[in-house]
Amino acid sequence: MRILITGAAGFLGSHLCTRLIKDGHQVIGMDNFVTGNPDNLAHLAGEPGFQFIRHDVSDFIFVPGKVDAVMHFASPASPNPDSPYGYTNLPIQTMKAGALGTHNTLGVAHAHRARYLLASTSEIYGDPLEHPQSESYWGHVDPIGVRSVYDEAKRFAEALTMAYHRYHGVDTRIVRIFNTYGPNMRLDDGRVVPNLIQQALRHEPLTVYGDGQQTRSFCYVSDLIEGIVRLLLSDEHDPVNIGNPQETTILEFAKTINEIAGNPAGIVFKPASRLGDDPQRRRPDITRAKKILQWEPKITLEEGIRLTIPYFKEKMGLA
Ligand code: NAD
Ligand code: UDP
């Protein structure tokens, strides 16, 4: 296939490009570098099957030649207001990438009769009242909360994707991605994994927001990419959760990182209020992914952290 991947220079987009090139596809990567990094794609520069277009997906998209699949991953993805790359500091860009970017990429898929995959998120469940979250849960989102620029853009994107499927017959898929981590994450985007791993490697106390009793379920990137590729190749049109159901409190998570990195500096608690609607519990129900895609994650949290640390060491000049 000839596949357009938006958000190609980001964390997940760059892994997707690498995987799909390895699988023998042709890939057109698209990005405007608002949160991404061209270094993530440097290794693909000489690949005959890889092409890059610098473009903002909020503007009309023209792709020369035939496109067989479109994967829309372009969007800021970190909630952290302390980082200039957090979506709370890029609120309009985030809403445009989710709304106009989804419209434009669906337009490409429609025009080319290409298959389409939307990168959605567990954030569409908001601060969930059902636990774990299955795809049938409608969510609990504050439409004007701090995170709403991301959550509501993604909810709009899902609705628009289903509209193109139902009204125009576009061959769409929706993946609801739960917290994923690994190499190629931006060091300064403020998400919990880059923040805590770098603090641990610098032997500083790890910053835990609130009392650290909020939970997340972290998936290693290779597991996530495998699930997404299987979904792309499937004929499933309804949303599918992809994530690792191994749930941990943020406090336990911080302790695990300190242990693995051998950091004696401990933990410091920071106020949670700036994050307002920080979801208290999050864990994917992956029954559908198991059944439809014969997929489940293989890498444990401890293994994944060990696989991720060398990337941060290298980027921090500690390797
Ligand atoms: P990222 O910030 O590393 O990557 C996003 C990429 O999109 C960046 O390269 C950025 O420059 C690009 N981009 C943003 N707006 C753009 C625009 N208007 N035009 C062109 N390019 C644009 O984030 P990520 O973690 O790789 O997330 C990728 C996708 O996966 C996002 O849609 C995000 O919502 C979704 N997602 C990620 C996670 C996760 O845990 N990593 C969880 C849920 C959903
Ligand atoms: N968090 C934290 N310390 C940090 C960064 C984040 O305790 O330095 C918390 C944050 O409040 C949230 C969780 O870790 O409860 C995951 O945050 P992240 O920004 O990675 O993404 P989210 O899952 O909230 O979108």
- Assigned domain for 226 exists: yes
- Assigned domain for 262 exists: no
Query: What order do you get walking across the sheet with 115-121 strand by strand?
Result: 50-54, 26-31, 2-6, 69-72, 115-121, 172-177, 240-242
Phi, psi for residue 204 in degrees, rounded to 5: -105, 160
Q: What is the C-alpha separation between 303 and 295, in angstroms, rounded?
A: 19
pTM: 0.98
- Where helices occur in the chain by DSSP H, the ranges are 11-22, 91-112, 148-168, 192-201, 221-233, 250-261, 287-293, 301-315
* pLDDT single digits (tens) 287-301: 999 999 999 999 999
- Assigned domain for 313 exists: no
In 10 A of CB 134, how many CB atoms? 14
- Assigned domain for 82 exists: yes
- Assigned domain for 116 exists: yes
Closest C-alpha residue for ligand 1 atom 15: 75
Which range marks the domain in which residue 292 is found?
Answer: 2-181+219-243+283-298
Number of structural domains, the chain?
Answer: 1
Is residue 184 in contact with ligand 1, taking CB distance under 6 Å? no
- Measure 26 CA to ligand 2 centroid, in angstroms: 35
* pLDDT single digits (tens) 100-148: 999 999 999 999 999 999 999 999 999 999 999 999 999 999 999 999 9
- Assigned domain for 202 exists: no
| CATH number, position 80 | 3.40.50.720
- Assigned domain for 71 exists: yes
Determine contact, residues 17/8, Cβ cutoff 8 Å: yes
Q: What is the C-alpha separation between 55 and 64, in angstroms, rounded?
A: 14
Residue in this structure with the two tokens 């628009």, named with its chain if needed: 160
Mutational pocket test of ligand 2: of 250, 270, 277, the residue with most ligand atoms within 8 Å of the beta carbon: 250
- Assigned domain for 314 exists: no
Q: What is the C-alpha separation between 244 and 185, in angstroms, rounded?
A: 18
